Structures are given as structure tokens and as C-alpha cells.
Amino acid sequence: MVEIKDLVFSYRRDGKPLFDGLSLKLESGNIYGLLGKNGAGKTTLLKVISGLLFKGKGEVTVLGKDPAGRSPGLLSKIFFLPEEFYLPPVRGIDYVRLYRPFYPAFKPELFESYARELEVDTTGRLGSLSYGQKKKFLIAFGLASGCSIVVLDEPTNGLDIPSKRQFRKLISGMIGESGEIGKDQIFIISTHQVRDLEHLIDPIIILDSGRIILNESLEELSKHFSMSIEKEEPETWKAGSGDVLYWEKVLGGYAVIRKGPSEGRELDIEVLFNALVSMTDRLEAENVIAGGAK
């Protein structure tokens, strides 16, 4: 559904490219979690996928089309909610009336249901809503638009604790009995707030300095990594020896990531992220993770 091959992208013609040969394949029926440090290129990647930025070199196809072509057919299947968004100062019902003609698969009854679930008033003026309420309004609209590709950049930023729970519940509710979202859909959720979206995002994509250092399902990751909370400080990892890859101090001991299959305890995505990002070069050298673009 989304395929990127050898993408080269730079904000300046003569500048160092942000992406230099990045490749990525996203399959339908998944909620991808796009993780990365500030400036890693998450938003830029989402913009390239959405056709808001153009590739320098390489190939980008979304539902078989080049997003830079900005064709209405493709745009009506992509819903993009950026971190800083815009809502015109109209009433919610007017927004729906004005924008739904652009989304042929939009379902008003779904929108009402999602808005109810997120506790958003759709009759009042959108300008008078808080940031979080506005965001929830757009999330409800986007989910009801029937888009095959839903791109959410930091969706839980600015949401209060109950709203984060509502958001998780809503997305979880969209996951079918088979454990997949609509088979023709992809959710790409970029976030710094990993804990907000734990148990929701899977597979995990980690972007670091313009490179994809990981694109794996949690199931696959648990075959390679295990996590435990230990009282004693583990021995520091050395290349080629021992199974401890990473540890960090947490409340009540040390969160330790080890090489080898996970038995019992679930992987903590935030700790795993810290492990992979802080030791990318060493893990690549050990062939624990794939080097460069994947």
C-alpha cells in the first residue's frame, strides 16, 4: 500500500539530505507506530507519504500512485492530521457539510458515533473549542472519512488523560475480531508519547537520523529481545559478549533488554526504543538490527 524505495530528500538543494536512500514498505491492516527523536524526520516522512513534500530521488508509491501527483482519487483516501492543524471557524455540522463531498466513503453515522465516543460537540462553533476538542473533532472526521491511509502526527499531544483513553479505546474498537483494522487500511501514527499508544501500535518503525533502523511487529521483536525488571545493576554490554543489550534505571530496579526470545514479560516499547536508538551502531555491528534503510 505504501512503498518507498531509495528515497532521497533534502530541504535544501545543496544541503545534506535528511533521507539518503530510505526504503520502507507498509502493508495494509496495520497500525504502524512511527517513533524517533526530535528532528529524526518523522513529520517529513509523513509529509512525503501524503504528497505535501516531493521526493528528491527514489520512488514513493501510495496505493499504487505517486503522492506528489496529488490526484483527487488518492487524496480522498488519505487523511492526514498534523501536529499543528487548522479548523475553520465554522460550526461542526457546517464543517461536515462542506468537507464530506470530498470524501466519497464518508459515513455520517460513524462520524456521529466517534464524536459521541470522544465527547466532542459537533453542533457548536469549532473556533470556540479547546485545542484538544478540535483535535478530537478532526480525529472523528478522519476516522469516519473511510480513508485507506490515516496519518496521525502526534495524535495524543494536547489531549487530556480521559481523552487519551477515549482515543485508544476508539482505535482499539476499530480493530476487528481477527486482530486487524480494516484490511484495506493503514494507520501511521507518529508519536513521542509511546506510553499513550502502547498496546495499540504494532508494528513499530524507528526512524533515527533519517534512517529506518527498525520496522518490525512486536511479535517478531519478542523473538529477538526480552525485557525484565531486575534489582541488581546488570553488567554493561560489550560487543560480542553477554546477552544484556541495554539497561536503564527505573522505579524499583533496572529495566533490562536482553538478546533472545521474550518469555512472559511484554516488551516495553519506550525502553526498547531507548535501547535501539542509543546503541544503533553497536547493534548493527552485532547484526542485532538491520543496518541503514530497511
Closer residue to another protein in complex, CB, 81/272? 81
Residue among 113, 112, 136, 131 nearest 123 (CA)? 112
Give the Cα separation of 158 and 126 in Å (integer). Answer: 16
Element (H, E) at 8: strand 2-9
Hey, what amino acid is at 6? D
Closer residue to another protein in complex, CB, 135/258? 135
Q: Which of residues 66-95 bind another protein (CB under 8 A)?
A: 70-73, 75-78, 80, 82, 84-86, 88, 90, 94
Considering only 5, 37, 66, 110, the residue that binds another protein (CB under 8 A) is 110
Considering only 6, 8, 56, 107, the residue that binds another protein (CB under 8 A) is 107
Q: Rule CB under 8 A: is residue 235 a binding residue for another protein?
A: no
> In sequence order, what are the residues at sequence separation of 6 or more whose Cβ sits closer than 8 angstroms to the Cβ of residue 1?
26, 27, 28, 62, 63, 148, 149, 186
Least separation in angstroms between residue 144's CB and another protein is 9
- Which positions from 10 to 49 touch another protein by CB under 8 A, shown as an x/- string? -x-----------------------------------x--
Torsional class of 113: left (φ above 0), alpha (ψ -120 to 50), beta (otherwise):
alpha
C-alpha count within 13 angstroms, C-beta hemisphere, residue 68: 11
Least separation in angstroms between residue 193's CB and another protein is 21
Closer residue to another protein in complex, CB, 9/246? 9
**Helix axes of 108-117 and 92-99: crossing angle, nearest 10 degrees:** 150
- Which residue in the block uniquely carries the three cell numbers 531507548? 274
Q: Which of residues 175-214 bind another protein (CB under 8 A)?
A: 175-176, 181-185
Residue among 189, 157, 153, 184 nearest 171 (CA)? 189
Considering only 174, 200, 229, 290, the residue that binds another protein (CB under 8 A) is 174
Total residues at interface with another protein (CB under 8 A): 44
Binding site for another protein (CB under 8 A): 11, 47, 50-54, 70-73, 75-78, 80, 82, 84-86, 88, 90, 94, 98-99, 101-105, 107, 110, 143, 146, 148, 173-176, 181-185
